[in-house]
Structure 1
Amino acid sequence: MNASTTDQSPVVVIGAGPIGLAAAAHLVERGIEPLVLEAGPSAGTAVRDWAHVRLFSPWAEVTDPAAEKLLAPTGWVRPDDTAYPTGGDWAEQYLQPLAAALGDKVRYGVTVTGVARAGRDRTVDADRDEQPFTIHTLGTDGREERITARAVIDASGTWSTPGPMGADGLPALGEKTAADRISYRVPDLEDPAVRARHAGKRTAVIGSGASAFTTLAHLADLAEEEQGTHATWVLRRGIGAHTFGGGEADELPARGALGLRAKAAVENGCASAVTGFRTAMVDRVGDQLVLVAEDGRRLDPVDEVIVLTGFRPDLSFLSEVRLGLDERLRAPTALAPLIDPNVHSCGTVYPHGVNELSHPEQDIYLVGMKSYGRAPTFLAMTGYEQVRSISAAIAGDREAAERVELTLPETGVCGGAGLYDEPDAAQNGRGGGCCGAPATLRIDTGTPTATGGC
């Protein structure tokens, strides 16, 4: 296919989440035709799965400028900049209207099963860069399709591939067969069915990040209401000075609040912490599960296990394109040193764009959560900057692509989600976004009642 034909093909964007839809908006602004392919039935399908969880960041920091320009003529009403949306708010009040503004440029119920160069598997060099991409898809009706694309922006995220329980990065022995008692998401305890799984029961929570803190806080609240509710917090390392975050001095005020909630849950007896426990096996004992460590230790039986060990990118449908990925994080090689969790925190990741996100295969980009591979902390505003830069590069505006247009506060804006005791914390002057300047938040840990489960 010649260059003129290739230029007429759309840029395929995989995923209609926050970063994928922002990519489409930036492409439209550049006069380039996008085609967004979303496996789910609506915009922000993954975000809707955690609709009950509140973002660390206010509305001002989770909307994209190009997207807002696209929304303006539709009568869209911008939410209060200082309010903190839940995942459900984000999807309903911003993502779905944005997808509607893009119209037929967004297709739902389409799963991407493969990406390749037309007529070239990954071993073939000849005229490779001159060939368009072919996107192999499968619809919910079972129909297969091949779509030609001039470039590919993969914003499919990592939500569909949570990390397993096993400490070696693989499922623990018995983990798959015990799947009916194991979940990998922050539970929505307002859902009667979910609440019934944990009320008056013993739950093991595996993980040490914000999702684990959020879950422990929710379970501690449930323990005050339901006798017998208890959480066992399973940590692969010991408890140290930074286990619970920075508390009220944390650069991420909401994260600090979550850490203090988790600490209070342990101190109040609503949860017990088990340290240095690397899970190797899940054993069934009657109707309960027993976790067994690599060193042979066995925990007391629990009724449910919640595994919150992070996420990882699904690279299976990209096997025929040439990606340059860091061996540890599975992030683009130039980006990986900037986000290595062994070195950096949320506050030390710099804005980056097409230079850090390019691969040996030209014109294919992993963006958003997927660009971070297994690194745990993603910055939402940084994701918007990623797609702004990439869209400029695709349009041939290299100067704009390499120019940094994002000014972050010292610690940026986290795209993760957390739990606020009071949704209107910002209006009351406590905190200013997930990564704003350090601020004091009122931490209402609650006091166990005589009839409570703690």
Structure 2
Amino acid sequence: MAAAAEGQAGMTRADHPVAVIGAGPVGLAAAAHLLERGLEVLVLEAGPSVGSSIRAWGHVRLFSTWRYNLDPASVRLLEKHGWEAPRPTALPYGSQIVADYLEPLAATPELSSRIRTRHRVLAVTRQDSDKGAGIGRDQTPFLLRVQRPDGSIADLLARAVIDASGTWETPAPLGSSGLPALGEQEAVQARLITAPLPDVSAGGFARRRVLVVGGGHSAANSVLALSRLAQTNPGTEVLWAIRAETPGRAYGGGSADGLPARGQIGARLRTMVESGAVQLVTGFLTERIEILEGERLRVHAADGRTLDADRLIPATGFRPDLSILSEVRLDLDPAVDAPRRLGPLIDPDFHSCGTVEPHGAGVLAHPEKDFYIVGMKSYGRAPTFLMATGYEQVRSIAAALAGDHVAAGAVQLELPATGVCSGVGSDGIAEESLLGTSCCSTPEKTPVVIGVPTGLAHGRSS
């Protein structure tokens, strides 16, 4: 598709494709459902390939099985071309989600010509209308300003927009007040603070004192991976700091969890803490980070306590990047930045991954007609997302865009009963936001996360 100024004059809104932002599991599922409905689609992915964000944590194993990580419309499209589904009860790694599912899906003749990688969406608006213009707005095409692979900027038109860009590229800050801790950016630039969910076996962590900050499953995943590293690398120290006064919620549902692999994470974590292999620090509200001599850092808490470490792994969650939507009429929950009707359904104080009600186009609608945020990004700051939830979201939205309002409203989703999918501090602030694909993580002999960062990313995958 050319830039909006090139060759699109005289076309009506219905002549343009539905634009999907992000080529992760939920974004590609949206495309598959739209094609089944006979709607043209264009997928814009900021990364160099589909599933770009998942590739960042490909070393992690999901604790949701393949059964919960496959979208029905995507499977139908794949099987049309001879694809064989993985064993439904197996727990895939992130890298397997990409190699065995997303890459074959993107390579199908139906989708391959409709996916544009290295196309970053910079802004979404209405053609010839800013956010304040209301007359005739619903009949006006959407305009997406996009940076192309060569760095040039183009405007593309769309009949509808589905933002499945995820939250992986915007991790929450370490500061306990919702802002970066003083000195945090300098420590990041000095590479003393890592990216979320790093592969600790890849180097740079052995025989060092490593601090993990956060109380959710991503934090637990990193803590347990470091514990295993310490067993074979004497001198490796593992510190774990959480905002809550007790680690009970981080230990999760145990044997009562409907996803056994996730239930096991709490038991392992408790064992590591009680054995002394992991030094747990509770009630720790990060206020300031100081860079010390010798490439080390000191983390200062609000109550005056300090923790010294060689490296810090942040596991404080993620936030949606809403900057590209400043000209879109949104209606967001003031607390979690999710669509207003969805906010109370995903409040982490009351819901885990499996207790969130299924929801579709009606709950996800904004004042901006035919605009939807889906996947991990639709949950805003809440950490209770499951990939299967995103698949049901886009199935309903595709039906609504096709005019089948009965199917759009018939929202159904069977999820496993879950333990605790998020860590919430004593102050009620969620300490972790799950990656874009599913919910949580569970280390076995190797790291494990649940179907999620797809977490996936902004304009790249989710």
Q: TM-score, normalising length from structure 1?
A: 0.89
One-letter amino acid matched to 1:56: F
Correspondent of 1:362 among 358, 364, 369: 369
Per the alignment, residue 312 of structure 2 pairs with 305
Alignment of 1:54-73 (within 5 A): 54-73=61-80
Does the Cα contact within 8 Å between 2:225 and 2:443 map onto a contact in 1? no
Sequence identity, in percent?
50
One-letter amino acid matched to 2:194: S
2 and 365 in structure 1: CA distance in 2 versus 1, 3 angstrom threshold: farther
Per the alignment, residue 154 of structure 1 pairs with 163
Question: Offset at 1:417?
Answer: 4.5
Question: Offset at 1:73?
Answer: 2.5
CA distance in 1, matches of 2:443, 2:311: 25
| Higher RCO, 1 vs 2 (CA within 8 Å, ≥6 residues apart) | 2
Other structure's SS at 1:176 match:
helix
Are 1:186 and 2:197 an aligned pair?
A: yes
One-letter amino acid matched to 1:379: L
Per the alignment, residue 289 of structure 1 pairs with 297
Greater displacement, 247-256 / 414-423: 414-423
Question: Offset at 1:157?
Answer: 0.3
CA distance in 1, matches of 2:305, 2:332: 37
Cα deviation code 1:309-339 (max 9, x no counterpart): 0001000000001000001100000011100
One-letter amino acid matched to 1:140: P
Correspondent of 1:94 among 96, 101, 105: 101
CA distance in 2, matches of 1:243, 1:69: 38
CA distance in 2, matches of 1:263, 1:152: 44
Are 1:140 and 2:149 an aligned pair?
A: yes
CA distance in 1, matches of 2:441, 2:263: 10
Per the alignment, residue 441 of structure 1 pairs with none
Question: Offset at 1:27?
Answer: 0.3
CA distance in 2, matches of 1:134, 1:240: 47
Cα deviation code 1:90-135 (max 9, x no counterpart): 0011001111111110000000000001111111112111111001
Q: CA RMSD in A?
A: 2.0
Other structure's SS at 1:190 match:
helix
One-letter amino acid matched to 2:346: I
Cα deviation code 1:161-194 (max 9, x no counterpart): 0011111111111111111100131121332xxx
The structure that has the greater radius of gyration is 1
Question: Offset at 1:422?
Answer: 5.8
Does the Cα contact within 8 Å between 1:151 and 1:364 map onto a contact in 2? yes
Does the Cα contact within 8 Å between 1:239 and 1:275 map onto a contact in 2? yes
Per the alignment, residue 349 of structure 2 pairs with 342
One-letter amino acid matched to 2:117: Y
2 and 364 in structure 1: CA distance in 2 versus 1, 3 angstrom threshold: farther
Alignment of 1:244-259 (within 5 A): 244-259=251-266
Per the alignment, residue 216 of structure 2 pairs with 209
CA distance in 2, matches of 1:2, 1:126: 21
Question: Offset at 1:257?
Answer: 1.2
Alignment of 1:197-276 (within 5 A): 197-276=204-283
Per the alignment, residue 8 of structure 1 pairs with 15
Q: TM-score, normalising length from structure 2?
A: 0.87
Cα deviation code 1:184-241 (max 9, x no counterpart): 31121332xxx2x211110110001011111111111111111111111111111154
The count of aligned residue pairs is: 421
Are 1:17 and 2:24 an aligned pair?
A: yes
Does the Cα contact within 8 Å between 1:118 and 1:133 map onto a contact in 2? yes
Are 1:165 and 2:188 an aligned pair?
A: no
One-letter amino acid matched to 2:133: V
CA distance in 1, matches of 2:380, 2:335: 9
CA distance in 1, matches of 2:102, 2:262: 25
CA distance in 2, matches of 1:35, 1:249: 42
210 and 240 in structure 1: CA distance in 2 versus 1, 3 angstrom threshold: closer
Does the Cα contact within 8 Å between 1:2 and 1:130 map onto a contact in 2? no
Per the alignment, residue 81 of structure 1 pairs with 88
Other structure's SS at 1:178 match:
helix
Other structure's SS at 2:185 match:
coil
Other structure's SS at 2:309 match:
coil
One-letter amino acid matched to 1:243: A
Does the Cα contact within 8 Å between 1:3 and 1:130 map onto a contact in 2? no
One-letter amino acid matched to 1:112: V
Cα deviation code 1:379-416 (max 9, x no counterpart): 21111010000000000111110012433344599813
Unmatched tracts of structure 1, length 5 or more = 426-432, 435-454
